Amino acid sequence: MQTFEVWWQGEPVSTAPELLRRCCMPDAKAPIGSAQARSIDFNIGQIASQVMRPGDTEAFLSLKLEDSTADIWHRLDLARLQLKMRACYCSVFDECWQTDLVQTNAKRLKSCPAVKVPFALPTDWFESTPQPAAH
């Protein structure tokens, strides 16, 4: 998988937390950090820049339905039908295709084009932040 892009309401989205915030959270300006994501059982996967075998699948986001997340979950369930996505992938023989992940056919390309807003894991989720010392 070379590239993966997501749009919500015609605007590109760069991360799953941004998507969840914009589509489904009551306070769309509140950031979703890794600790909050764990507390609501929100999981994201890395799609682009990975090797997948035919038939493999990778979820780019998931949210467990629980009483505490039911409102967000139901908003996301509706929002997923309005998402636009595009993926570009190449075989080991450098044959490349682009798909909207809706149609069953893919467009053959010479190579995957660069994307303006790639959908990726939030970089700040990989930075270790010092935790305050317990007293």
Q: Has residue 135 been placed in a domain? A: no
Summarize pLDDT for 90-117 with one digit per residue, the tens.
988 889 999 998 888 899 999 999 999 9
Q: Has residue 131 been placed in a domain? A: no
Summarize pLDDT for 57-97 with one digit per residue, the tens.
877 788 888 888 888 889 999 999 999 999 999 988 889 99
Q: What percentage of the chain carries pLDDT values higher than 90?
A: 34
Q: Is 79 helix (H, G, I), strand (E, B) or coil?
A: helix
Q: Has residue 42 been placed in a domain? A: yes
Q: Has residue 86 been placed in a domain? A: yes
Q: Has residue 116 been placed in a domain? A: yes
DSSP classification of residue 27: S
Q: Has residue 11 been placed in a domain? A: yes
Q: Is 22 helix (H, G, I), strand (E, B) or coil?
A: helix
pTM recorded for the entire structure: 0.77
Contact 24, 76 (CB under 8 A): yes
Please tell me the total count of domains within the chain: 1
Query: Which residues form the domain of 103?
Result: 3-125
Parallel/antiparallel/unpaired status of strands 96-99 and 11-13: unpaired
Q: Has residue 12 been placed in a domain? A: yes
Which range has the worst mean pLDDT, 47-51, 81-85, 88-92, 125-129?
125-129
Q: Has residue 96 been placed in a domain? A: yes
